A and B are shown apart, each in its own frame.
Chain A
Amino acid sequence: MDLSFTDEDRAFRREVRSWLRDNCPTDERPHDFAGARAWDMAWQRRQFEGGYGGIAWPQEYGGQGLPLVRQLIWFEEYAKAGGPDIGCGFVGINHGGPTLIARGSDAQKQQHLHKILAGEKVWCQGFSEPGAGSDLAGISTKGSVEGDELVVNGQKIWTSYAHMADFQELLVRTDPDSSRHHGLTWVICDMHSPGITVRPIISMDGLAEFCEVFYDDVRIPIGNVVGEIGDGWSVAMSTLGFERGTGFMKLQTELSVALEHLIEDAATLAQLDDSSVRAKLGELRADVLAMRSMTYATVSSAVRTDVPGPEGSMIKIFYADLAQRIHRTRMEVIGVHGLDRAGRYGHEIGEYLYSYATTMGGGTSEVQRDIVGERVLGLPRNR
């Protein structure tokens, strides 16, 4: 075990720290959909042009091909510099791109990967359906093979940024006689195709990031299928595996920054004289440090084995609960300010409301506990 970073790593840290200081956007992200998309993509493009797009992506696909530790350093410095949320680039960078790297054809890689990294195209995810949430294998959106096309009918939901997206990673049932994990297909859907209707859903924090997507005879070229027809489940799992591995690097640093801001707020509001407030903040600091140490362990494990282990589900459970506790504590600390949505702590109130999503997004904490119980501890299945 070794906590120290190499001289090269430290030099990289200084380099990105100074680049981020000079380049992080300082203007406010626009509130309209088109403006927000343009803003997110402009920031992604600037990172790409600066040489920081896809730090751990292979060089042949426009990435930097650097070790995961550099990605970790980037995320730490990014959060500390107050870098903005990745926004609508999230699915392309974190799901779609990595899946194409793992399972896409050469033509698919050629067409899409560079445009994702360079901030030219926005992706969204079409997995969940009204009848297939935690039970993702319950997907019923149909894809019928007609000649060299796939004709899609059905509905997806909880699709982040569908209203801004150019492409979608879409999971459909191509074998009508199949059930569960069989007979599914993972296909790249052009969101500008005729027959697609997108309806934004406003979430409890007041933002419209989620959408419902309806498909009415949407025709997709067969060449857009990633992997084989009927092999969609295994392609989808390679995406989710990615999400549970390296995604924590960024999340843990954001939590750490959010907590230190909270402690500054508590000092400003003269709450630190109260020993029970100090104790509560101290517990949060302890758990943020535990989160960081678990992230280091999982990054080290990914460096050694290249595959995120099932401990990712434990970190997800821990993270989701901790994030909610930090934001709840913030509401306690700001007191009456918490009633003033447009006031001094308006942004923090929004973050608190958003935190209700952390125990659901990317797999509910209940499903994660099933995974830990069954795959880590070896307890019998409950279904």
Chain B
Amino acid sequence: MDFLPDADQEALVEATRHYIESRMPLTDSRAGLDDIRWKEITELGWLGLATEEDAGGAGATLLDETFVFREIGRGLVCGPILATLAAARLAAWTGNTALSTELVGGQTRVARALPLPGDNARLLLLDTEDAALTLLVDGDRAALHAIPQHVELSPGLEDGTSVGRVGRVDLGHSSVVAEDRQTVNRIRRVLSILTSAQLAGICGATRDFATEHAKNRVQFGKPIGAFQAVKHRCADMATNALAADNVTFFAALTEMATPSDSDYHALAAASCCRRAAFANARTNIQIHGAMGFTVEDSAHRFVKRTHALCITESFDRAAELLGGLPSAQTSEEA
């Protein structure tokens, strides 16, 4: 039992952070995933580190992906990375290795389709630009569909993003479908754990930004971080980030170790990271004061990303689902 990253894992984190900070810095909010950067992240293996090698992946682990997605969350990297990764996994697990290889290789991008509450006929599409397929995980079914030719786009919650609305009937042919509960839940857990990882990254980034501001902003003759009212909120952000990191690692390690089909650890990470990321993102705005309320500072972007991630994966329901499960027989006790 060793619950700390080893040297290789630390090197992966460092290299990923270095790449994001140099190629998609937060200060440049327009530095989206253009074709050049999409090719770069594909070459870095982001779309299939843990996908099996015969399905185009790198044969690494979900934990390695967790480290990468924590950095993606920290750097607010945008684009259809997670949906494309999950689509490749779905293709691989349903025997479509050619499609999986194509997806991991970045040739086809995958949008995300989400059911709209109270409107069973229509779907909201995310990241549709340049995407040919969309991933729809709904109830006991996960599928990849072709995207209709003409989708009207309108602004999304996150600045610079757009969403599309389509009717379910307008979705094209589904090239890959999984309707067995085991595969669908397994895809959900990959989406969930890598979303928790992004939220953990948000927790760490907001802790660092708030702390940095508290060290430099002087009022009443001293840095505001010398006042306990501010210092203690920064300390709580650090505690939230520590919890979010470790519970996410725990979920990833458990998913790797047990083929038990239990959602327990993934739901725990979702519930914990959701609350931690919202608390940190909000506190980061407050500690930045009026500057945090402007679009000039990055603070608002962490709040918007946290909403986007949590809504997409229905994280607001995680706690209730977890509370209704039988108690966990966790792997380390076997």
Whether B333 contacts A293 by the Cβ 8 Å rule is no
Contact of A376 among B9, B228, B238, B246 (CB under 8 A): B238
Minimum Cβ distance to chain B for residue A299 (Å): 7
Contact of B225 among A2, A5, A379 (CB under 8 A): A379
Whether B215 contacts A283 by the Cβ 8 Å rule is no
Q: Does A180 contact B (CB under 8 A)?
A: no
Whether A317 contacts B236 by the Cβ 8 Å rule is yes
In the complex, 6 of the A-B residue pairs with CB atoms within 8 angstroms, ordered by the A residue number, are: A1-B253, A3-B253, A9-B1, A291-B243, A293-B247, A376-B238
Minimum Cβ distance to chain A for residue B212 (Å): 10
Q: Give A5 to B332 CA distance when docked, in angstroms.
A: 7
Whether A278 contacts B243 by the Cβ 8 Å rule is no
Among the listed stretches A27-35, A337-345, A365-373, which one makes contact with chain B, having 4 or more residues with CB under 8 Å of it? A365-373
Q: Does B77 contact A (CB under 8 A)?
A: no
Interface residues of B (CB under 8 A from A): 1-6, 9, 63, 207, 211, 214-215, 222-223, 225-228, 231-232, 234-236, 238-239, 242-244, 246-247, 249-250, 253-254, 257, 264-265, 267-272, 275, 318-324, 327-328, 331-334
Q: 5 closest pairs, A vs B, by CB?
A: A282-B323, A278-B323, A282-B319, A282-B322, A293-B246
Whether A377 contacts B249 by the Cβ 8 Å rule is no
6 new A-B contacts, CB < 8 A, other than A1-B9, A5-B1, are A285-B271, A286-B272, A287-B272, A294-B243, A380-B226, A382-B227
Residue of B with least CB distance to A304: B4
Minimum Cβ distance to chain B for residue A155 (Å): 29
Whether A297 contacts B320 by the Cβ 8 Å rule is no
Interface size on A, residues (CB 8 A): 57
Whether B246 contacts A294 by the Cβ 8 Å rule is yes
Whether A380 contacts B225 by the Cβ 8 Å rule is yes
Contact of A283 among B228, B238, B271 (CB under 8 A): B271
Contacts of A372 in B (CB 8 A): 234-235, 238-239
Report which residue of B228, B249, B319, B327 has the largest number of chain A beta carbons within 10 angstroms of its beta carbon. B319
Minimum Cβ distance to chain A for residue B277 (Å): 13
Contacts of A287 in B (CB 8 A): 243, 272
Q: Give A284 to B53 CA distance when docked, in angstroms.
A: 39
Contacts of A13 in B (CB 8 A): 333
Contacts of A381 in B (CB 8 A): 226
Whether A290 contacts B243 by the Cβ 8 Å rule is yes
Q: Does A314 contact B (CB under 8 A)?
A: yes
Known: A1-B63, A282-B323, A369-B231. Is A314-B271 also a contact (CB below 8 A)? no
Q: Give A69 to B235 CA distance when docked, in angstroms.
A: 28
Whether A286 contacts B236 by the Cβ 8 Å rule is no
Minimum Cβ distance to chain B for residue A6 (Å): 8
Whether A3 contacts B332 by the Cβ 8 Å rule is yes
Whether B243 contacts A318 by the Cβ 8 Å rule is yes
Whether B323 contacts A293 by the Cβ 8 Å rule is no
Residue of A with least CB distance to B319: A282
Whether A379 contacts B215 by the Cβ 8 Å rule is yes
Q: Give A300 to B214 CA distance when docked, in angstroms.
A: 31
Residue of A with least CB distance to B254: A3
Q: Does A76 contact B (CB under 8 A)?
A: yes
Q: Does A229 contact B (CB under 8 A)?
A: no
Contacts of B5 in A (CB 8 A): 1
Contact of A314 among B227, B238, B247, B249 (CB under 8 A): B238
Whether A290 contacts B246 by the Cβ 8 Å rule is yes
Whether A277 contacts B323 by the Cβ 8 Å rule is yes
Whether A286 contacts B242 by the Cβ 8 Å rule is no
Contacts of B322 in A (CB 8 A): 281-283, 285-286
Whether A379 contacts B6 by the Cβ 8 Å rule is no
Whether B319 contacts A379 by the Cβ 8 Å rule is no
Q: Does A289 contact B (CB under 8 A)?
A: yes
Contacts of B318 in A (CB 8 A): 282, 286
Q: Does A311 contact B (CB under 8 A)?
A: yes
Minimum Cβ distance to chain A for residue B24 (Å): 26
Q: Give A68 to B156 CA distance when docked, in angstroms.
A: 50
Q: Does A335 contact B (CB under 8 A)?
A: no
Chain A, 347-383, CB within 8 A of any chain B CB? 366, 368-370, 372-374, 376-382
Residue of A with least CB distance to B66: A1
Contacts of B320 in A (CB 8 A): 275, 278-279, 282
Whether B235 contacts A369 by the Cβ 8 Å rule is yes
Q: Give A244 to B153 CA distance when docked, in angstroms.
A: 54
Whether A379 contacts B238 by the Cβ 8 Å rule is no
Whether B222 contacts A282 by the Cβ 8 Å rule is no
Residue of B with least CB distance to A299: B3
Whether A293 contacts B226 by the Cβ 8 Å rule is no
Whether A300 contacts B215 by the Cβ 8 Å rule is no
Contact of A318 among B207, B239, B328 (CB under 8 A): B239
Contacts of B211 in A (CB 8 A): 377-379
Known: A282-B271, A296-B1. Is A373-B222 also a contact (CB below 8 A)? no
Contacts of B232 in A (CB 8 A): 366, 369-370, 373
Contact of B235 among A2, A300, A377 (CB under 8 A): A377
Q: Give A272 to B205 CA distance when docked, in angstroms.
A: 37
Contact of B239 among A292, A314, A380 (CB under 8 A): A314
Contact of B223 among A5, A69, A380 (CB under 8 A): A380
Whether A377 contacts B238 by the Cβ 8 Å rule is yes
Q: Does A59 contact B (CB under 8 A)?
A: no
Q: Give A35 to B81 CA distance when docked, in angstroms.
A: 65
Report which residue of B232, B242, B321, B328 has the largest number of chain A beta carbons within 10 angstroms of its beta carbon. B242
Residue of A with least CB distance to B63: A1
Q: Does A60 contact B (CB under 8 A)?
A: no
Whether B235 contacts A282 by the Cβ 8 Å rule is no
Minimum Cβ distance to chain B for residue A383 (Å): 9
Contacts of B238 in A (CB 8 A): 314, 372, 376-377
